[in-house]
Amino acid sequence: MTRSLALLAILVGLIGPAEARSLDAIRSLGQIGLCAHPNSLPFASKAGDPPGFQVEMGQALARELGVSLRLDWIITMFQLRAAGCDIVMDVIADREALEETRLKTTKPYYRTGVALALPQASKLTSAAGLDPTTKVGVQVGSVAAMLISQRHVPTSTFGFEIDSLDALANHEIDAAAVTPANAAYYNQTHPDKTVRIIALDDSEASLNWNVAIGMVRPDDALREAIEAALARLRADGTVTRIYSRYGVTLQEPK
């Protein structure tokens, strides 16, 4: 799980019952709030150069709604209570998880999960080739860490995916279990150390998921407006262009 998604997991656990967020109120204020992590490229960055695809998506969505985007930077769970944002990007569209979060979501607009990043010279062609002689970098506490360990494959744990990709480049590990977005952005920003990206396990549901826009306490009008705006942004190629600027090729949701 990326820093952004890990953060989101914290965020949604803290959102309590509240009144619906009105589309009229957002238009009256002239802005819609996006919750994002300030230091989690390619997802979002407070530094703003580049801003991250979550911020660019938020800006595009705000333009479609005729308002400006307000960024609510969130680092700790204590800040999340007072964030007051309206939307979060890259929400895992899982019914069970959503029951816990109380977030409403749009229709999924891409599919992602956990991939295996490998050195270009690696002889591995699939995750089935992992064995007791291969060490895999995993994010601490992740599902991937648990599943790989169950296969009796040695692992090395990291706090952030970028750290495991750096370890891979430094030949400290043989593979890294990371999101395709982080691996793709690593290739874009490290052209001399590019990695090969393959699926970790297409058949494992917990390693593959659809992604949607999460809405915090939307009323029906806001939910319909965001859904319609996202559909327009997908149809005119805006969504694809935003993610491609970070090296990410979107897969259709399933």
Contact status, residue 48 vs residue 10, Cβ threshold 8 Å: no
On the question of pLDDT at 78 being above 60, the answer is no
Strand-pairing partners, residue 32, are 69
pLDDT in tens, 141-165: 899 999 999 999 999 999 999 999 9
What pLDDT shows up at residue 96? 75
What pLDDT shows up at residue 79? 60
pLDDT in tens, 41-76: 999 999 999 999 999 999 999 999 999 999 999 875
Q: Which residues contact 36 (CB under 8 A, 6 or more apart)?
A: 4, 43, 44, 52, 54, 55, 58, 71, 72, 73, 74, 88, 89
Domain ranges in the chain are 23-111+210-246, 115-199
| CA dist., res. 214 & res. 152, Å (int) | 36
Domain 23-111+210-246 matches domain 115-199 at the CATH topology level? yes
Tokens of 246: 């970070």
Portion of the chain with pLDDT greater than 90, in percent:
75
What pLDDT shows up at residue 34? 95
In words, the CATH class of domain 23-111+210-246 is: alpha beta
What is the second-level CATH architecture of the domain 115-199?
A: 3-Layer(aba) Sandwich (3.40)
pLDDT in tens, 174-219: 999 999 999 999 999 999 999 999 988 888 888 999 999 999 889 9
Which run of H or of E encompasses 63? helix 53-65
| H helix intervals, 2-41 | 3-14, 23-29
Q: Would you give the DSSP letter of residue 252?
A: P
What pLDDT shows up at residue 81? 59
pLDDT in tens, 207-245: 999 999 999 889 999 999 999 999 999 999 999 999 999
pTM for the full model?
Answer: 0.88
Contact status, residue 19 vs residue 106, Cβ threshold 8 Å: no
SS3 label, residue 29:
helix
The band of 20, judged by pLDDT with boundaries at 50, 70 and 90, is: low
